[in-house]
Structure 1
Amino acid sequence: MSSSVRVVIADDHPLFLDGLRGLLAELGATVVAEAQDGRAALDAVLRHRPDVVFMDLRMPGLGGIEATARIVEQAPDTAVVVLTMSEDTASLQAALQAGARGYLLKESSKKDVARALEAVARGELVIGPGVASKVRHAVGGFSPQVFPQLSEAEVRVLELMAEGLDNRSTAARLFLAEKTVRNRVSSILTKLDVTTRAEAMVRARDAGLGTGPAGPGSRADHPS
């Protein structure tokens, strides 16, 4: 999917720019412009209308948060993915409130960047593994807006699926009947347009839901 993605990179560190440019080329994405401050990033977005902007937060002049807010307002079809060294909750919260659709640390792997490209292309929010645990504090718990097609109740079930819980364990955790959980799982798979629990779990983890690997009670290989 990343082969058709057009990208603008905004970062004021030349070595990091070079590395990210090379990584995106390996993933098949096209870098249409680079910028070393927020103002230049905004200008590049308005000129090239890319699919994604990888945005550093701390740059001279117009910073990444304000640049993100302006891009979201003036080019809403462009997804902003913050790529930063900042792990603090305040930066994460500010980026999400500004409208960023992703938040990754600069130490993220090639796989994390590839998943981010694919997730934002689907219109989803993506939070990197290094900061996913902070999302609860930043936004007061996972919002259904992570997957806007799901209800809040379905997001809760999906989160537990991502943690590796099977239907029985999920039902016990949420004080629900197991049949109710099965029905919600079926609805989740339909709304996410996937056929297996494993696919739904990958989508959920890409968006920052779930905190650990599937445990002994996991039913990742079963659709319901």
Structure 2
Amino acid sequence: MTTEPIRVLLADDEPLYLDTIRVLMDADPGVEVVAQAGTGRAACELAARHRPDVAVVDVRMPDLDGIAVTRHVTALPDPPKVLILTTFDLDGVVYETLRAGAAGFLLKDVAPHRLLDAVRTVAAGEALLAPTVTRRLIADFLRSPAPRRPHRPLDRVTPREREVLQLITRGLSNTEIEQALHLSRHTVKTHIGHLMAKLAARDRAQLVIAGYEAGLADP
């Protein structure tokens, strides 16, 4: 059975970088670039027109930034998964980007094969939340002088689900959670599904945010 390629929208205001990742993805038969945009507004229009599976969006763009683009395209019917490209000096926007509905983010200097892996990961409905990046960026932002965000109540969450959420918040993968709590893969996935339903989370990225809001990342 033939598998349909992942349909991708690229959005970046640096033409050279945009062309580079376009060439990379065009060389992969499992990925099809259906559109590319150089501004945030164009990204929103093309997402509505082409209905991609994944939108790879630079956080810094003219017209609308990556946060606004994410908020717009994730509100579309059958929305694409959004993969944000960012840099270490953008700590303050990561939290809001995930809040807007991004499925994950990568540093712009990521190795080419990692970018392709990331597209496949978010297209499959998982979040790309590498512990070495996610925990540092979000934790740094939440330690900033900005007002503390209100905690999302966990009153409907069971003790075991709370344990799973805490490990997700700390950046552990499903396999690491299985090992830490001595649970089967099916059980871990079941707990994660329950957490998403109870906390109204779109994906794993939103669970990380819920965990930080609930104080589960605090020492």
Bin the TM-score by the shorter chain: 0.5 to 0.7
Q: Which residue of 2 is the match for residue 9 of structure 1?
A: 10
Look up the SS of the partner of 2:56 in the other structure: strand
Look up the SS of the partner of 1:50 in the other structure: coil
Residue 188 of structure 1 deviates from its aligned partner by 2.5
Look up the SS of the partner of 1:131 in the other structure: helix
Residue 90 of structure 1 deviates from its aligned partner by 1.2
Matches within 5 A, 1:39-54: 39-54=41-56
Q: Which residue of 2 is the match for residue 151 of structure 1?
A: 161
Long gaps (5+) in structure 1:
144-149, 171-180, 193-203, 209-224
Aligned with 1:81 (options 80, 83, 86): 83
Q: Which residue of 1 is the match for residue 156 of structure 2?
A: none
CA contact (8 A) 2:44 2:69 kept: yes
Closer/same/farther in 2, CA of residues 26 and 161 from structure 1, 3 Å limit: same
Normalising by structure 1, report the TM-score.
0.64
Residue 91 of structure 1 deviates from its aligned partner by 1.4
Normalising by structure 2, report the TM-score.
0.65
Aligned equivalents of 1:191, 1:184: Cα separation in 2: 11
- Matching residue's letter, 1:59: M
Residue 185 of structure 1 deviates from its aligned partner by 5.8
Q: Which residue of 1 is the match for residue 195 of structure 2?
A: none
Residue 134 of structure 1 deviates from its aligned partner by 2.2
Which of 1 and 2 has greater Rg? 1
Look up the SS of the partner of 1:40 in the other structure: helix
Aligned equivalents of 1:165, 1:127: Cα separation in 2: 14
Q: Percentage identity across aligned positions?
A: 30
CA contact (8 A) 2:37 2:46 kept: yes
Aligned equivalents of 1:157, 1:127: Cα separation in 2: 12
Aligned equivalents of 1:116, 1:80: Cα separation in 2: 11
Q: CA RMSD in A?
A: 3.6
Closer/same/farther in 2, CA of residues 107 and 63 from structure 1, 3 Å limit: same
CA contact (8 A) 1:2 1:27 kept: no
Aligned equivalents of 1:37, 1:69: Cα separation in 2: 15
Q: Which residue of 2 is the match for residue 98 of structure 1?
A: 100
Q: Which residue of 2 is the match for residue 126 of structure 1?
A: 128
Aligned equivalents of 2:183, 2:66: Cα separation in 1: 42
Q: Which residue of 1 is the match for residue 34 of structure 2?
A: 32
Residue 123 of structure 1 deviates from its aligned partner by 1.2
Look up the SS of the partner of 1:151 in the other structure: helix
Q: Deviations over 1:25-77 (max 9, x none)?
A: 23331111111111100000011000011101111112221111111112442
Count of residue pairs brought into register by the alignment? 175
